[in-house]
Amino acid sequence: MKTNTGMVSGMDQSLYDAFAKVSEDNQSKVAIYFLGKPLTYHDVRAMSDSLAHNLEEMGVSGRIAIMAGNSPQFVISLLAINSMGLEAALLRPGESPEAYDCQYVIASDYMMNYQEFNFRDMFLIRDEDLAPYGTSLKYYFREYLGERRDLSSRPGVHKLSDLIFDRYGQYDRDRSPDDTFIVKKTRKMESPVLIRNKDIMSAIADLSAYLDGFRKNMLISSSLYHMSTLQFLFTALINAGTVNLVPDYMDGQTSMKLAGRLESNMVVGNSHLYRQIVEKKIGIPKTIRFLFMIGEDFAPEFMDRFRSATGRTIKVGFDMTESCGAVTISPLDSEYDGSIGKPLPNVKIRITDRSGKDVQPGEMGFIEVSPGRFMGAESQYYNTGDLGYIDAGGGLHLERTRRMIINGSLIDPEPIEAAVNKASGVNDIAIGMRYEGGLPVLVAYVVTEDVNGIKRFFESRFPPYLRPQKYIAVKKIPRSPAGKIIRDQIIEIHGGDQQKASAEAN
């Protein structure tokens, strides 16, 4: 079978159409490995076509929420929804489909475990659907998954596997690059962000130009709901590369073994993976050329630790978490220089004051990104709401007190706190972030007499990336007159790296 390694040119098509074109020329090539199990380009397209056909036959329309961890089903569902010309709302754990006006949900059971939702139909991704050759994921992740409710017997719940293995013929319909593809919500905007097909294709083109000349065979462990992770994933697929996809709670030792065995040459990881590599002295396969960590919070001291422990450098970057992915990444031919990278091709960044005027070079201000592919902006820069400055060499430096990003996931503490406050023995709780060893950790400050009981509650009800790494018993949670948690105060009182800790009160 002919193999095409060049990227499909032009942005005047949908993501599905671009992928379909590549799959026609690379049908027998492996598109995705999941826990070592291969899916060819033909497999992925056939499954997405089958899912799209069955969803349409069931009358599914409008906006569809996806609440799934790293899995082929996430990718297949996204392609299917795009092929139908519908909108996919990518939800973080704890976000409500109702807040996105979604009547339909595609979800992994562990993503739905700690919060009740109303939905018309849910298409459930079961453990046995994810694991290699029909075995259960519990065999692989016994210590991570905990106890969960059986959702399969609820009215309106369908097994996603029943809808993707029909091997239905190619799905054909008109799709426009101006169609909305993905819907995300930001913390600073009340209305959802609508991301078009051509926004995604533009982001892929920028990353493809950055990686030009290198094989795009990637191990991806960072969460797929993160837009920069999707940008890397589809950059690989649209360039006929191979994605070695691992669950976002996979241990570092297994991830690196898979990377070496399947000859990945890039890793798109998160702080959880890189922390394990340092602390457990995990070797990095010689096949790996580049390591990426995009949109994560970290202290420069961690980069020094990582380089000392491994002799390798992580390429870091700034991303539009809720919109269209990475806007800066460290140059491929440079060492870590303290910045979070330089703008990708076709991306411009400026720093402004509160009135929108440019500040002097090196001066702190609001980070604004050039128009075009972000949020459908056509005529003006988009203000990200983040603070930073640009150094003399063009590198962007981020003031890291505005976001709570841990292990590649943007954490929204309020749904977690609301769920845990209902648990027996909890009088009050606050979720915060502080830095240890140069990387952020999630901390639960709990008013309780049974800290171990609260830890067991988290382990039985929450996915691994929402479980605190530390539990601290406190006498009182500081709150404002309006009842809002004052996070910077509780972190200051109970230790941690104060100048780097997240101070945002939600």
User: H or E segment at 318?
Assistant: strand 314-320
Q: Between 4 and 150, where is the model more confident?
A: 150
Q: Which residues have C-beta within 8 Å of that of residue 496, sequence separation ≥ 6?
A: 432, 434, 435, 436, 443
Task: Choose the weakest-confidence range: 105-119, 257-271, 409-423, 448-462.
Answer: 105-119
As a whole number, mean pLDDT of residues 292-300 equals: 88
Token duo for residue 436: 């240890």
Tell me the HSE value of 306 on the side-chain side, using a 13 A CA sphere.
26
When pLDDT is cut at 50, 70 and 90, the band that residue 242 belongs to is very high
Share of the chain above pLDDT 70, in %: 79
pLDDT at 403: 59
**Is 372 a residue whose pLDDT tops 60?**
no
pLDDT at 394: 93
Q: At what angle do helices 227-238 and 197-210 cross, to 10 degrees?
A: 70
pLDDT at 504: 30
Q: Which residues have C-beta within 8 Å of that of residue 150, sequence separation ≥ 6?
A: none
**Is 92 a residue whose pLDDT tops 50?**
yes
When pLDDT is cut at 50, 70 and 90, the band that residue 3 belongs to is very low
pLDDT at 40: 95
**Is 65 a residue whose pLDDT tops 70?**
yes
CA distances from 344 to 48, 143, 390 (A): 31, 40, 14
Q: Which residues have C-beta within 8 Å of that of residue 482, sequence separation ≥ 6?
A: none
Q: Is the dihedral of CA 117, 134, 234, 14 positive or negative?
A: negative
Share of the chain above pLDDT 90, in %: 37
Task: Choose the weakest-confidence range: 28-37, 194-203, 279-288.
Answer: 194-203
CA distances from 134 to 70, 147, 159 (A): 17, 20, 14
When pLDDT is cut at 50, 70 and 90, the band that residue 435 belongs to is confident
**Residue 187: which of 418, 488, 505, 484 has the closest Cα?**
505
**Is 27 a residue whose pLDDT tops 70?**
yes
pTM of the model: 0.84
Q: Is the dihedral of CA 436, 442, 446, 449 positive or negative?
A: negative
Token duo for residue 149: 């409710």
Give the separation between CA 122 and CA 91, rounded to whole angstroms.
Answer: 14
Mean pLDDT highest for which of 193-197, 208-212, 421-425? 208-212
As a whole number, mean pLDDT of residues 368-382 equals: 65
Q: Please count the residues of the chain.
A: 506
pLDDT at 152: 66
As a whole number, mean pLDDT of residues 472-493 equals: 82
Q: Are strands 193-196 and 180-184 parallel, antiparallel or unpaired?
A: antiparallel
Give the separation between CA 50 and CA 326, rounded to whole angstroms.
Answer: 32
Each residue of 379-389: b (16+ CB within 10 Å) or e?
eebbebebbbb
When pLDDT is cut at 50, 70 and 90, the band that residue 177 belongs to is confident
User: How many C-beta neighbours within 10 Å does residue 414 have?
Assistant: 12
Task: Choose the weakest-confidence range: 4-18, 93-107, 298-312, 432-446.
Answer: 4-18
